[in-house]
Amino acid sequence: MTGIGALTADWDAHHSPNTSQSSGPDVGIGNREWTSIEKREGRIVYFDLNFPLGTSQGAAISRVLAQFPPDAVAGPVMHVQHAPGDGDACTWLSLSSAILAKALGALPHGNGAGRVDVVLRSLSPTGAYDRSNVDTAEISALTSADDPGRNCFV
């Protein structure tokens, strides 16, 4: 496992160059492919996966799925559109994996369900979500069963 839930050593071996907060090639928008990398108890529990400009929602979701163990199952894709001035719109989905449940279950944040939230965002001057131009996937194993997709609502 080299994506979400990976041991830090496995992540580091497969993501080069590595810094504490970013790794991978520049994707053309001033960001590395992986940014905001968060590690807890020797495992990767959060990161942003950045895409080149013009990445479609379908292509972004395919790239996200590559960050998961092969047993990962995606839930429905939900779109959230806010009223003007209430924050950017986004798309949210949740994935679950028995492999992740085993890997993450013993961590202090207690994600024994192996559920990971993914928030897709797009660059837009109006804050509208553009399915044809997804720029970032926020991938988090730091989820709450009581508040799924909360990052999409702020």
- 108-127 tens-digit pLDDT: 555 567 788 899 988 777 76
Which H/E stretch holds residue 47?
strand 43-50
What does the pLDDT read at residue 60? 95
pLDDT digits (tens, 9 = 90+) for 49-64: 999 889 999 999 999 9
Q: How confident is the model at residue 148 (pLDDT cuts 50, 70, 90)?
A: very low
Whether the Cβ atoms of residue 37 and residue 47 lie closer than 8 Å to each other: yes
What lies within 8 Å, CB to CB, of 81 at 6+ separation is 89, 128, 129
100 or 32, higher pLDDT: 100
Is pLDDT of 85 > 60? no
Residue from 3, 83, 102 nearest 44 by CA: 3
CB atoms within 10 A of CB 29: 12
pTM equals: 0.83
Lookup: tokens for 11: 């992540």
Sorting pLDDT into bands at 50, 70 and 90, what band is 10?
A: very high
